[in-house]
């Protein structure tokens, strides 16, 4: 698994790694139970510091998307349950994004169309 990162991006490298893995899970290219490269291996592939990869993995584990076993490595979690705290965090994040859309002049219909088109990327259909 080789992720693409942009060293010129305003986003931090660990955020780019975090988001790339998250998108891989959402699109199904990273399936529950799949192992992730070791911190050393992924750091080498991306040409980034091991602490950068480690931080991304720790955040993914903290958010429940990855399970870290000190002896076996990091794996995509098997269960992605959601609780009230998760819902509130999503609401806060989405509120900021929707505020940006509103300020920039995106109509409700345009916003709904945008959200729907993005969500379809994560829908697995036969």
pLDDT at position 100, please?
97
Query: Encoding tokens for residue 3?
Result: 């992720």
User: What is the mean pLDDT of the segment spanning 86-95?
Assistant: 95
CATH number of 13-76: 1.10.10.10
Instruction: Supply angle C-alpha 30, 43, 78, rounded to 5.
Output: 25
What tens digit of pLDDT does each residue of 58-82 get? 999 999 999 999 999 999 999 998 9
CA 45 to chain centre: 19
Residue 34: phi, psi to the nearest 5?
Answer: -65, 140
Of 61, 41, 54, whose CA–CA distance to 1 is shortest?
41
For the chain, what percent of residues have pLDDT higher than 90? Answer: 87
Query: Encoding tokens for residue 66?
Result: 């990855």
Numbered ranges of CATH 1.10.10.10 in the chain: 13-76
Average pLDDT, the chain: 93
| Residue 126 clears pLDDT 70, i.e. is over it | no
| Residue 41 clears pLDDT 90, i.e. is over it | yes
- Residue 53's pLDDT band, with cuts at 50, 70 and 90, is very high
């Amino acid at each position: 698994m080789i992720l693409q990162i942009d060293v010129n991006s305003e986003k931090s490298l660990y955020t780019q790694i975090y988001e790339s893995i998250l998108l891989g899970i959402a699109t199904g290219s990273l399936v529950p139970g799949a192992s992730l490269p070791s911190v050393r291996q992924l750091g080498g592939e991306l040409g980034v510091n091991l602490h950068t990869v480690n931080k991304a993995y720790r955040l993914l584990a903290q958010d429940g998307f990855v399970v870290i076993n000190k002896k076996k490595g990091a794996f995509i979690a098997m269960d992605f349950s959601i609780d009230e705290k998760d819902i509130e965090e999503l609401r806060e994040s989405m509120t900021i994004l929707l505020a940006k859309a509103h300020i920039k002049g995106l109509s409700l219909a345009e916003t709904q169309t945008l959200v729907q088109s993005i969500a379809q990327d994560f829908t697995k259909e036969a």
